[in-house]
Each structure stands twice: as structure tokens, then as C-alpha cells.
């Protein structure tokens, strides 16, 4: 996937004026957040589970090497293979090698954001292997030549009319606006692909160290068909997905579905433990796990280690006012929203992703709904600090911070300026109590009115309260 993160501002302007996109995003605001709230309300122990999951993730990251080696040993014991890949290129080469070893011409794929991260589909196509997306959302996007805009609902930026149009164009069938008809049409098109695939590729939500198992959680049956019908199953995943035991896995599963879609549990929770054994009715003859690092090991022991707690539930972006306004494609790479604003700079560099951690109101909603309590605003602030220290911030930002620092170091002057600014803004607002336009603040007032300051300044109130 090409990197367009430096174009965030321009893409956001286009997104704000895209009527079709805004219609699709309105469905997001009325969907996942409300369902999550309802699901959480039905579970009195939800906050306790968040605490337990956070502590467990911290323990795993402090012992990551131990659990990964235990996972590898058990995969091998079960008859499978584990491949360690430091870079996306390493991972793509290894997956292609496995495909070539079994003379694969086509592969079916379940939804995998790591495969998007390493740009796997393009790599396979360029080397003579046809990848076929089988997740409904991903299938729709593949037909359109599009990319996911959300980590659990990849086609959330589309409306029913968009799906109807692309199905009519590609499937050569009568156009329909009935979701049930479109679903059946997709099933019929994909059925022969499942049967004819030489290799099945899936991601993994978790890796279980004690058993050498991988698990995918889905609401469609495509994942099961992808990993059981072909002779070779390849799991493409990242190193931080490991958990010590099956019991630990269930703790995260209880949080994942509720935080993601508002379900108590997803429809399918499928464990894979090595290749088919004697007596098994189905399953692959070959089982491979490709573990992708791509900068994650460099995060361990740093201020960004907490980001590795992420279980990819999407709650942060579902509740983010910025994501809700501009959608996922504006972020210009694989991972959108608050989690992407922290993860993307690590993977492609702050030089290219510097706009993303700045694209936040710091309202704190993302941290408040994160099931593993990742302090996303704090981590975005760290990236802002890094950008500033490397002199990558725009000149206007640097001058603005420099100007603020000048006054902040001179308390008397700072108080004079804040008091006079307070008065000036109240005069501008008049009786309405709001300001439609402020010089040099169009980024705010172009889209909303600025409330007028009310009452005294903070320092004035602090002084009066201290004296009383």
C-alpha cells in the first residue's frame, strides 16, 4: 500500500466535502459506539477485566521473547513451521516461497491488517500468484481496487449503492439494492474460489504459547473455509499477538467483541493447532506461521511499548471525532484513527507521518474506551515532541510555540495578554456569546463558532480563591 500520510490535510479537506463519505460515516457514529455502550452496561465486571487485561499485556511484553519461543516450540511440536521476519519484504518473500513450494497459482485470504501492512497482495500478484479476498468487505474493496478504511469494518466508507454498482459491473448480473441478494451473489462468486485455492492465508487475533495455537475471530464463515479447505494454511501475524494460555486468551476475547462491535462474542472463534492429524475430518496438510516484526521489537522498552498492548478492537477510531469527520483513508496508510496515529510513525517514520499525531483534539475519548487502557493522547504527544525536536514541525507551529514560550517565561506580561485577549474576544462575540471568524484561527472557525470566554481568567480565579 502506497504511503499518503503526508497528504493528510488535503485528503481531509476532500473528505469533509464528500457527500457520499459523510453519509457512510454517519452510520458509524450511530452504530459501533452505541452498541459498545450497551454491551458494556450489561457486564458489571468490564472495568475489572480491563485492569486484568492491561496488567497481563504488560507482563507479556516484559517477557515477550519467552512466550514467542514457547509458541514456536509448540507449533513445531504440532507439526507446523514458524518463520521470523524482521521486515515486510522478508515476510512477503517467505510467503511467496511457501506458495511456490506447493506450486500455488491462487490463494484465498481472510481479513488481515498485517497483510495490508506488508503489501502482500501486490507482491503476490507481481510474482504470479493471484490473491482472492474472501472477507465480504475486503472482497468488495478488491473489486474496486480500493483499500480498507477501518481495521474491523474495511468497507465502512462505502454505502449500499456503491456495493450494488461494483457488483453489477464485475459480476455482470442485474443490479440490486437488496443486501440479502448482494450477499448471496458474493457467496456464489467466492464458492468456486474456496474450492480451487491451493493456499489459504489468514491473520491471527491471538497466538497461544502453551498450545502453539492461533485464533481468528470473525462474523463470517470465510475464515474457516480459508484455513481448512486448501492444502496449505499460512498465518500472517505480528509478534505482540502472543498470550501465555488459553485461559488468558478468553480474557481478551471477552473484551474484544464488546469493544469492537458491541457483541458479547463474535460468531466464529476458530483455533488452529498445526496441520491435519490422522483421524481429522478436515484441515491443511501444511501449517505455517509468519511472524512479522516491522519495528515492533524496537518499541519494547521505550515510551511507545504501551502501544503494543493493542488488541485491534477499533474502539478508539469508532469514538474519535477526527476519524468520524474525515474517515480512514485520510490517514494515508494502513492504520487509521488514534491507534494509527501512534503506530504509523513507528513503521513509516515521523518524517512522513508527522501530521497524524497532530490530528487529534486530545479529548481523551480514545483512551477512555480502550479495553487495555493505552494512553493514546500521551503517546501522540510523545510523537509531537519527537517531531519538534527533529525540527520537522511546520514553521508556523514552531513560531507559535516559541511565541507562547516567550510570554510564559514572563508571568506579568502573560497575565496582561491573557486578560486583554479575554476582553477582546468577549467584545467580538457580542450578545450572541460566540464568534464566527477569528483572524489566523480559520482552522477552527471555518467549521464551527468559537464560544466567547466567560468570566475571569484562570489565574484571576485562582488568586481570588487563594485569598478567600
pLDDT digit string, tens, across residues 274-315: 999 998 989 999 999 999 999 999 999 999 999 999 999 999
Percent of the chain at pLDDT > 90 equals 82
Q: 447 is written with which cell numbers?
A: 467549521
Find the mean pLDDT for residues 216-224. Answer: 93
- What average pLDDT does range 419-439 have in this prediction? 86
Categorize the per-residue pLDDT at 447 as very low, low, confident or very high, splitting at 50, 70 and 90. confident
The CATH code of domain 43-297 reads 3.40.50.10420
pLDDT score of 383 = 97
Higher pLDDT, 184 or 441: 184
pLDDT at 387: 95
Query: What is the pLDDT confidence band of residue 396, given thresholds at 50, 70 and 90?
Result: confident
pLDDT of residue 445: 80
Assign 1 a pLDDT band (cuts: 50, 70, 90).
Answer: confident
251-255, 273-277, 397-401: which range is least confident on average? Answer: 397-401
- Does residue 400 register a pLDDT over 90? no
More reliable by pLDDT, 450 or 356: 356
Domain with CATH 3.40.50.10420 in the chain: 43-297
Amino acid at each position: 500500500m502506497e504511503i499518503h500520510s503526508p497528504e493528510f490535510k488535503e485528503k481531509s479537506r476532500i473528505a469533509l466535502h464528500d457527500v457520499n463519505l459523510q453519509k457512510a460515516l454517519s452510520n458509524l457514529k450511530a452504530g459501533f459506539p452505541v452498541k459498545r455502550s450497551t454491551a458494556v452496561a450489561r457486564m458489571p465486571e468490564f472495568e475489572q477485566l480491563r485492569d486484568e487485561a492491561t496488567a497481563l499485556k504488560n507482563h507479556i511484553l516484559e517477557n515477550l521473547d519467552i512466550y514467542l519461543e514457547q509458541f514456536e516450540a509448540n507449533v513445531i511440536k504440532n507439526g507446523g513451521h514458524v518463520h521470523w521476519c524482521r521486515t515486510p519484504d522478508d515476510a512477503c518473500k517467505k510467503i511467496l516461497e511457501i506458495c511456490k513450494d506447493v506450486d500455488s497459482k491462487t490463494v484465498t485470504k481472510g481479513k488481515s491488517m498485517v497483510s495490508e501492512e506488508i503489501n502482500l497482495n501486490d507482491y503476490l500478484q507481481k510474482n504470479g500468484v493471484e490473491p482472492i479476498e474472501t472477507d465480504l468487505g475486503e472482497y468488495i474493496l478488491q473489486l474496486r481496487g480500493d483499500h480498507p478504511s477501518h481495521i474491523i469494518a474495511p468497507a465502512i466508507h462505502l454505502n449500499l449503492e456503491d456495493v450494488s454498482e461494483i457488483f453489477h459491473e464485475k459480476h455482470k448480473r442485474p443490479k440490486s439494492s437488496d443486501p440479502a441478494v448482494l450477499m448471496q451473489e458474493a457467496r456464489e462468486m467466492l464458492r468456486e474460489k474456496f474450492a480451487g485455492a491451493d493456499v489459504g492465508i489468514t491473520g491471527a487475533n491471538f497466538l497461544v504459547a502453551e498450545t502453539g495455537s492461533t485464533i481468528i475471530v470473525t462474523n463470517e464463515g470465510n475464515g474457516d473455509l480459508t484455513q481448512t479447505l486448501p492444502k496449505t494454511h499460512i498465518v500472517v501475524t505480528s509478534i505482540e499477538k502472543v498470550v501465555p494460555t488459553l485461559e488468558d486468551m478468553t480474557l481478551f476475547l471477552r473484551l474484544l467483541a464488546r469493544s469492537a462491535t458491541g457483541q458479547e462474542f463474535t460468531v466464529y472463534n476458530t483455533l488452529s493447532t498445526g496441520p491435519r492429524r490422522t483421524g481429522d475430518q478436515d484441515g491443511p496438510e501444511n501449517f505455517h506461521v509468519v511472524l512479522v516484526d516491522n519495528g515492533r521489537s524496537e518499541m519494547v522498552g521505550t515510551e511507545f511499548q504501551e502501544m503494543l498492548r493493542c488488541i485491534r478492537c477499533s474502539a478508539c477510531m469508532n469514538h474519535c471525532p477526527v476519524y468520524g469527520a474525515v474517515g480512514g483513508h485520510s490517514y494515508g496508510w494502513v492504520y487509521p484513527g488514534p491507534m494509527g496515529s501512534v503506530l504509523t510513525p513507528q513503521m513509516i517514520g515521523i518524517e512522513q507521518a508527522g501530521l497524524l499525531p497532530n490530528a487529534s483534539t486530545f479529548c481523551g475519548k480514545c483512551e477512555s474506551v480502550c479495553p487495555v487502557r493505552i494512553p493514546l493522547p500521551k503517546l501522540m504527544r510523545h510523537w509531537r515532541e519527537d517531531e519538534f525536536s527533529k525540527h520537522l514541525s511546520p514553521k508556523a507551529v514552531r513560531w507559535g510555540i516559541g511565541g507562547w514560550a516567550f510570554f510564559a517565561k514572563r508571568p506579568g506580561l502573560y497575565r496582561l495578554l491573557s486578560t486583554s485577549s479575554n476582553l477582546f474576544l468577549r467584545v467580538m462575540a457580542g450578545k450572541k456569546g460566540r464568534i464566527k471568524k477569528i483572524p489566523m484561527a480559520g482552522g477552527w472557525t471555518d467549521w464551527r463558532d468559537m464560544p466567547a470566554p466567560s468570566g475571569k481568567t484562570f489565574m484571576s480565579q485562582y488568586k481570588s480563591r487563594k485569598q478567600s
